[in-house]
Structures are given as C-alpha cells and as structure tokens.
A and B are shown apart, each in its own frame.
Chain A
Amino acid sequence: DAGVIQSPRHEVTEMGQEVTLRCKPISGHNSLFWYRQTMMRGLELLIYFNNNVPIDDSGMPEDRFSAKMPNASFSTLKIQPSEPRDSAVYFCASSLWDSPDTQYFGPGTRLTVL
C-alpha cells in the first residue's frame, strides 16, 4: 500500500524564492497535517486539515507560509518569500479523523534556503 507521498524530497533554493512542497495523503484518510522539524525546535505542527478544511493554523509561523488542500488527495505548503531560517525538514502526515492518534508520516522534504 502506498504511504504518504511528499515531493520534492530535497529542495535547495535561494533566499527570496518561492518554495512549494507537495503532499499526497494515504487514500481514505481525511485528516492531513503539516509539520516542521529542526534541531532547535523539534517537530512542530504548522497546520492541519479535516476533510480538506483547515482546522488549526496556529502553528504557521507567519504570513509567508500558506497551505491549501484543494481535494482529498493533494495538499501544498508554500513559502513566499523563503528565508534561511525556514531551512528544516517538512513532514506531511495523514490519519483517519476518528483515529487521530495514529498519524502516518511521509518521508519529508529537506529544505535548504541559502
């Protein structure tokens, strides 16, 4: 069975550029989560969706970050403009709404902003 799919796996960009990270959740899962992981701050929840609707975006660091989920099988996290402090691993995870305790993570996107 296919797990959560993320692309790209690695992204290197220059400060000021727009970055778009993509995620395909597990088929049938109706909750989707975006996390960011750094050495300093650990794993932080940025935003999560239920049935394609954003439920809690309190973890989104600032207006430069935006996330969308146009349908049940696709979500994007966009950073515009990117800054060096955005360098991190970004994980997408999905779960069933009635089983939120078990989240399945994608392999992550390693972002480096120069």
Chain B
Amino acid sequence: RKEVEQDPGPFNVPEGATVAFNCTYSNSASQSFFWYRQDCRKEPKLLMSVYSSGNEDGRFTAQLNRASQYISLLIRDSKLSDSATYLCVVKVPQGAQKLVFGQGTRLTINP
C-alpha cells in the first residue's frame, strides 16, 4: 500500500464549479499535512497546510480526518487558473524531515 494515495483524475470541471479531492495516508503517526500545487512542467509549490480543525484560504478549504486518515481539498468558484495537478503531502513522524508526496490529482477547469 502506498503511503499517500490520491485519485489521479483527471477531473474536468466547468469554470465556477466546486470541486473536491480526497487523499488517504497509511501512517497513523503522521503529524503534518499539506497540499502542494504543480503546474504543467513546473515545480511543486506549497498551496496550504492542513490543520486538524480544518482551514480556509480564500476559495480553498482543507480538512483532515485523523480517524479515517484522509485529507481533503475543496475549491469553490473554480477559475481557469486553478488548472494544475494537486499533490497531497504528508510529513513522516517527528524526527525526520521527510515529506511523502501523493501521485497527484490532475484538474482542468474548462471555460
């Protein structure tokens, strides 16, 4: 079983729609969680951290369910510029600097 699993998509949604991605992780001792964004042929960039209580950044909402070991990302009022691959990222348990990346979910927003 992979440490971090995501639905690879692709997701094709119209502009203005709401879209949600889920991700599951296998190590219950994981403590930090993130979403990174990667544009086509570019490097990954941190989109947002995911906190236990859930957090919001503009049109983006991230949530964590520790009991079920899954993380979600919700994008409201999607824009053409949201088209990218979204990577679910988990930091291995304390003592290490290692981030484990999911395969990514590819999102295309259509006009």
Contact = CB atoms under 8 A, between A and B. Distances in A.
Interface of A: 31, 33, 42-45, 48, 50, 55-56, 91, 95, 97, 100-103, 105-108
Contacts of A102: 46
Contacts of B43: 91, 105-108
Contact of A42 (B98, B99, B104): B104
A42 B102 contact: yes
Contacts of A33: 97
A102 B49 CA distance: 9
B70 to A, nearest CB: 18
Given A91-B43, A105-B43, A105-B45, A43 B87 contact: yes
B99 A103 contact: yes
Q: Interface residues of B: mostly helix, strand, loop or mixed?
A: strand
A71 to B, nearest CB: 19
Nearest to B101: A43
Contacts of A106: 43
A101 B103 contact: no
A101 to B, nearest CB: 5
B49 to A, nearest CB: 7
B1 interface: no
A95 B97 CA distance: 10
Nearest to B103: A42
Contact of A101 (B32, B42, B45, B104): B32
Interface string B10-27: 000000000000000000
Nearest to B87: A43
A69 to B, nearest CB: 14
A108 B45 CA distance: 13
Interface string B61-77: 00000000000000000
A48 B97 contact: yes
Nearest to A35: B101
A42 B96 contact: no
A44 to B, nearest CB: 8
